[in-house]
Structure 1
Amino acid sequence: MKRVLLFLATNLAVMLVLSFTASLLGVNRFLTGNGLNLGMLLAFAALMGFGGSFISLLMSKTIAKWSTGAQVITQPGNGTEVWLVQTVQKLADRADLPMPEVAIYEGEANAFATGATRKSSLVAVSTGLLQTMSHDEVEAVLAHEVAHIANGDMVTLTLIQGVVNTFVIFLARVVGYFVDSMLRKNDEESSGPGIGYMITVVVCEIVFGILASIIVATFSRHREYRADAGAAKLMGSPTPMVAALRRLGGLDSEGLPQNMQAMGIAGGKSWLSLFSSHPPIEQRIAALQAKA
């Protein structure tokens, strides 16, 4: 959950900065000054949408380290760190991946993987995870994160986010143009977008952005099933992954801020499950047992 929320938050921040910069440069006026230029608008939306998404991807590892306080293990200082690095190395070899950076951060039981490419990836585990799980269970969680890297999930998420960003920006400005035109249909002196356009675009970007987040979250839930299956394959059996999920189901596995608690993994029994990046634990366990 953590890596997805970090990516989405960064993506939103970058998009807002790009949109504000475009407004200052008068790009909106250029696109709508002489009627709505749909071709130029779509190109502009794609540049902004994919630009924000890929900038977020490139920043993902740095922001993950900064926001969690994760400390990369450069020289193992104790037996736990030695085992952790050796285990990630073993799993990476099985997945035919370059060795990721390995980090530990203070927090409730959780782990995440991130990075722009397979050659620049990071696997981080929390102190809570190491303290509450057995070695087999921790190894299964690490295999899950390595499977995310092997599946190229961060890049795929970036592409999907870029597509939905593009349509959010495009549709918001199309609606904004027509609302503004209706409000100023008897005003023949003004040219270019007015206040109605700007307000409508902001409102539509928020509304369409919420709908777009449902699409991204749906993909994220599917990739969790794939990563669980990938972990079972790397471990040679689904049993350790099932045990790890059962243990996580009885723990506070997120440690999210209060304003984000509703979007945690414990959702899934209300409409808020549409925005959850992870399926309910019991459904993930059932999927693994069905494949076994």
Structure 2
Amino acid sequence: MARTRYASDRGLTSRMLVTMFLLGLVYVVFVTAFFAIAPSWGVFALIGATVFLLAQYFFSDRMTLFAMHGKEVTPQEAPELHGVIDRICAMSDAPKPRVAIADTDVPNAFATGRNQKKAVVCVTTGLLRRLDPVELEGVLAHEMAHIAHKDVVVMTIASFLGVCAGLITRFGLEWGLWGGFSRRDGDQNTGLVLLAVVAVSAVAYTISFVLTRALSRYRELSADRAAALLTGRPSALAAALTKVSGEIARIPSKDLRAAEPFNAFFFAPAFTKGFSVASLFATHPPLDRRLAQLSKISESLSRGV
């Protein structure tokens, strides 16, 4: 990866490393327990999860753009957007990603791609209509920080255990509901083995899900901090966050439901009205926490710290 001028955060990095270590520990325990219970079943789940994650790794940019109806645009088609990206690249000494626009009124942005050569930054038409150039710069600097920090690779690796355990849990439950829980093969109670497999997989999935969401929240805070320090305008990023979060609340529920599956990619999560989720399972930190961090950065910059 080319080195950039995006600032690192040792505190957040250490928390991310601890989270990755815990995920690895859960993975080792899960694999050991699973193969001790039903070694032959694990091979199929491992192959399925590997194929899925390899596809996500190599084609995440195309898949996400296709799902969000994003279209790559040239400098002639979107000169102002490209101009902002060019300024951020000059400030960060980072290679320029591909630039795309998704035609939706949900104000948001996302970055994807397994490395800087394959990276793409996409903004929605709703975001372009609502933010001024300075606020847009803060949002795009945040998204490009994700690229510089290799967040797509990190989250793909981190989600491997959850995908594997989730597949086993789902197929195990479906098989069990079709009579697998009561099945016996000779002296072996296959139903009990299946039940044990589903239980172990469900526990592993739940723990990995919580840890992966925590990792996602840390990476959002890290991207906020890196963008604020790079641009020197944390207040602009805070204004964009406040504006986007407020505008999302006014978007029709139908449009928000269509966007919710991509919350992990977005600058700010798109939740339908009345949606409530515990912070433990959120992909993004609470708005207050993000604003508080930006406020501290603003104070530090004003004091010249």
TM-score by length of 1: 0.69
> Which residue in 1 is equivalent to 2:290?
284
CA apart distance, 1:284: 0.4
Amino acid in the other structure paired with 2:131: M
Q: Give RMSD over aligned pairs.
A: 4.1
> Which residue in 2 is equivalent to 1:87?
84
Question: Any stretches of 5+ residues in structure 2 without a counterpart?
Answer: 1-33, 264-268, 301-305
The answer to whether residue 243 in structure 2 is matched with residue 247 in structure 1 is yes
With over 3 angstroms needed to count, the CA separation of the structure-2 counterparts of 1:272 and 1:73, relative to structure 1, is: same
Amino acid in the other structure paired with 1:213: F
Q: Which structure has more RCO (C-alpha within 8 Å, separation ≥ 6)? A: 2
Q: 2:181 touches 2:190 (CA, 8 Å); kept in 1?
A: no
Q: 1:88 touches 1:142 (CA, 8 Å); kept in 2?
A: yes
- Secondary structure of the residue aligned to 2:74 is coil
Rounded to whole Å, the distance in 2 between the matches of 1:90 and 1:175 is 52
CA apart distance, 1:275: 2.5
Rounded to whole Å, the distance in 2 between the matches of 1:228 and 1:251 is 19
Bigger mean CA offset, 52-61 vs 216-225:
52-61
Rounded to whole Å, the distance in 1 between the matches of 2:142 and 2:118 is 17
With over 3 angstroms needed to count, the CA separation of the structure-2 counterparts of 1:276 and 1:92, relative to structure 1, is: same
With over 3 angstroms needed to count, the CA separation of the structure-2 counterparts of 1:62 and 1:197, relative to structure 1, is: farther
CA apart distance, 1:245: 1.4
Rounded to whole Å, the distance in 1 between the matches of 2:277 and 2:248 is 21
Bigger mean CA offset, 117-126 vs 247-256:
247-256
Rounded to whole Å, the distance in 1 between the matches of 2:170 and 2:123 is 39
Amino acid in the other structure paired with 1:72: E
Q: 1:105 touches 1:126 (CA, 8 Å); kept in 2?
A: yes
> Which residue in 1 is equivalent to 2:61?
61
- Secondary structure of the residue aligned to 1:89 is helix
With over 3 angstroms needed to count, the CA separation of the structure-2 counterparts of 1:82 and 1:58, relative to structure 1, is: same
Deviation digits for residues 156-214 of structure 1 (CA, Å, limit 9, x no counterpart): 001101144345567999999xxx999567x527x8967x6667756875675455332
1:131-146 residue pairs with structure 2 within 5 A?
A: 131-146=129-144
Equivalenced residue count is 252
Q: 1:70 touches 1:105 (CA, 8 Å); kept in 2?
A: yes
Rounded to whole Å, the distance in 1 between the matches of 2:147 and 2:71 is 19
Q: 2:57 touches 2:153 (CA, 8 Å); kept in 1?
A: yes
1:197-216 residue pairs with structure 2 within 5 A?
A: 208-216=204-212
> Which residue in 2 is equivalent to 1:226?
222
> Given the alignment, which residue of 232, 239, 247 partners 1:236?
232
Rounded to whole Å, the distance in 2 between the matches of 1:192 and 1:66 is 46
Rounded to whole Å, the distance in 1 between the matches of 2:166 and 2:205 is 6
- Secondary structure of the residue aligned to 1:274 is helix
Q: 1:172 touches 1:208 (CA, 8 Å); kept in 2?
A: no
- Secondary structure of the residue aligned to 1:116 is coil
Q: 2:103 touches 2:124 (CA, 8 Å); kept in 1?
A: yes
Deviation digits for residues 43-73 of structure 1 (CA, Å, limit 9, x no counterpart): 7655543442232122211122212211111
1:1-292 residue pairs with structure 2 within 5 A?
A: 36=37, 38=39, 46-77=46-77, 81-107=78-104, 108-166=106-164, 188=186, 208-252=204-248, 255-257=255-257, 260=260, 264=269, 271-291=277-297, 292=300
Deviation digits for residues 53-106 of structure 1 (CA, Å, limit 9, x no counterpart): 2321222111222122111113523xxx11211211221233332211101112
> Which residue in 1 is equivalent to 2:12?
none
- Percent of aligned positions that are identical: 28
- Secondary structure of the residue aligned to 1:113 is strand
Amino acid in the other structure paired with 1:278: H
Q: 1:61 touches 1:121 (CA, 8 Å); kept in 2?
A: yes
Question: Any stretches of 5+ residues in structure 1 without a counterpart?
Answer: 1-30
Q: 1:42 touches 1:166 (CA, 8 Å); kept in 2?
A: no
Q: 2:138 touches 2:231 (CA, 8 Å); kept in 1?
A: yes
